[in-house]
Amino acid sequence: MLKPVVLPKNAFKLFFQSLKGLGTVYAPVKVSEKSYSFKEVHSPEEIAFEALRTILPPKKFFYPQEETLIRYKNGDFEEVQPEKKFQVIFGVHPCDLASLGILDTIFSSEPADSHYLKRREQSLLVGLSCMPDKHCFCNAMNADTAGSAYDLFLTDTGEEYFIEIRSAKGVELIKSLAEKVSDANPENHEAYKEFWKKREAAFSHGLETENLRSLLDLEWENQIWDEMGKRCLSCGNCTPVCPTCYCFDLVDIAGLNAKEGERVRQWDSCQFVGFAQVNGDFNFRATPADRLKFWYRHKLHGFDDAYGFKTCVGCGRCTESCPAGIDDIVQVVKILQGKKENKHYEP
């Protein structure tokens, strides 16, 4: 990482114009009384700096909900390449940056996903500091700092932004603001450290994650899974909002003349009834309880062996989006650990 700089907040408008000069800028925008979404913005006034979590995570910019991969016509096949469009994603919080680092690892593993990687190359990620609410537990999942999946990261220290620079693209943008930024001095560094100390103290979840790998195995038959399964709607809400869920389905859509068509990739969910169903009408995970256990294991244990990390980043989106009120990972883990009595599971 290069030497950090500071940007006065009264110069943010110029910073934003520099971002716009690179390509289309997306940032959190308020879309309802309680909801925020990453949308294209044309001025700083449109940005919801107070946004804590967006409805969908920034994975949607690199791994779209639906995209055509192949088109065919009269026996000829053509791979459809991603649109060449540079994009700037502003206001990405640490947990979402951590999730993109996870997806980078997964999608770059052989066979690499060229569509995802091309979109990542054609982007600039600008992180932004935040303060946690009651649903946040990113620090328990080692996802509470910016990590490396960003170009610039801004920490709000009051009258200034403390900017960490991670990439060559970030260096070039800061150079364009040479007259407005200055090297961070010891006072700036103290303000930076003070913010992150205050942020760490604001977490209230009390979650400990040291034993998750063995816990999920030992508690595979815990009654909580059946209790949650009885309430689960199998709606799949928890997976599109998860910043690291990447399950998909491939659909071949034929033209009416049967001579042309396309192969489309669409987001899918392991919580859908038919996700694990195969020929012979056999379903590997036939009940909601089976599917919930699979999802929890995937988030908290499944990738430890292969990659050495968990795929839950503690963003709290699944908890907020679950209509049945059962996707509270913190409370479920505490029950499995024996730290909370479970007469009937209540988040």
Q: Report how far residue 269's alpha carbon sits from residue 116's, in angstroms, rounded to the nearest whole number.
A: 19
Please state the pTM of the whole predicted model: 0.93
Residue 32 CB-density burial (10 A; 0-12 exposed, 13-18 middle, 19+ buried): exposed
Where do the domains of the chain lie? 2-56+83-201
pLDDT digit string, tens, across residues 155-200:
999 999 999 999 999 999 999 999 999 999 999 999 999 999 999 9
Comparing 27-41, 43-57, 136-150, 298-312, the range with the smallest average pLDDT is 298-312
pLDDT digit string, tens, across residues 244-280:
999 999 999 998 888 899 999 999 999 999 999 988 8
Residue 274: both structure tokens together: 């038919």
CB within 8 A of 171, min separation 6: which ones? 2, 165
Beta bridge partners of 124: 88
**Alpha-carbon distances of 119 from 2, 16, 70, 271, rounded to whole Å:** 25, 21, 17, 28
